[in-house]
A = this chain, B = another copy of it.
């Protein structure tokens, strides 16, 4: 084992100890708790090097060392074998998710499960509209010239939208509208639906044309141009578990977690199915500079249906959380693909 390797071991040990105790860790304690095979003095030398390289820091002179963001980053990158799920966890996941009826229910359970498994704040994104395809499009007349469009996707999402029509429509017209929309859109991916929608007003009876134009405009705007992505969060109470992690910075974190936009950027950037870890200042949003985010895409195929993940202090159990996030994503992916 080269001295380089041992230094990495020391870093790993520091991270592990610090994560579990929340105290700056010193050379003596390290040599006692881990069998590194060298004396505290040697560890001290290694620590000095690690500090020079920016992987650890000491809060004040004569205190132990604490991993920096860069240190956590190296630790995470070096994380080789993911800890497998325990049987209990496996059962927990299954029993938690089975029996869910609709999409809302599935995601609510998922976020709860994830928060419970990781003891962090959990965030789950609804299946991305753009990547879903149309299962059904319902047109419900509210008043003479107001209709509600209800879109149902193959991922189970139900989106509604109220539109004001230029003129009043009869029942038959509504039926015709519905029929046309469905024959042209059913099975199509929303991302590809734009052209089909644009062409629709031309194939319609002149009487219906103004209405159809409005409906198409509404659909394009609401579902293609600015598709409304949604997320659910849970377990925010976990942020307060160790008050030391967020001395005075809890408020901005909570505020950030209430912003759908922020969360979407946090969780929704996952393309593939590899777990993504953002540590401390790697997060773009300033309020989250002392949090870490572990996220992954879920979905059956190669492109993710959506993302999910957890947010917590940089001092978190990365290995455990990565395993949990990955496992939950797989289960949810199967569940949603099967429905």
Q: A interface vs B, CB < 8 Å?
A: 101-104, 135-136, 138, 140, 142, 148, 150, 152, 156, 158, 160-162, 222, 234-237, 239-241, 243, 248, 250-252, 254-255, 258, 339
Contacts and interface: CB of A to CB of B under 8 A. Distances in A.
The majority secondary structure among interface residues of chain A is mixed
B135 A142 contact: yes
A160 B102 contact: yes
How many monomers of this chain does the complex have?
A: 2
B135 A140 contact: yes
Contacts of A255: 237
A13 to B, nearest CB: 30
B142 A150 contact: no
Contacts of A156: 148, 160, 162
Nearest to A239: B254
A162 B339 contact: yes
A235 to B, nearest CB: 7
A181 to B, nearest CB: 13
Nearest to A256: B237
A315 to B, nearest CB: 18
Contacts of A150: 138, 150, 152, 158
Contacts of A236: 236, 254, 258
A295 to B, nearest CB: 21
Contact of A138 (B138, B240, B251): B138
A201 to B, nearest CB: 22
Contact of A254 (B103, B161, B237): B237
A254 B234 contact: no
Contacts of A252: 237
A101 B158 contact: no
Contact of A339 (B138, B142, B152, B243): B142
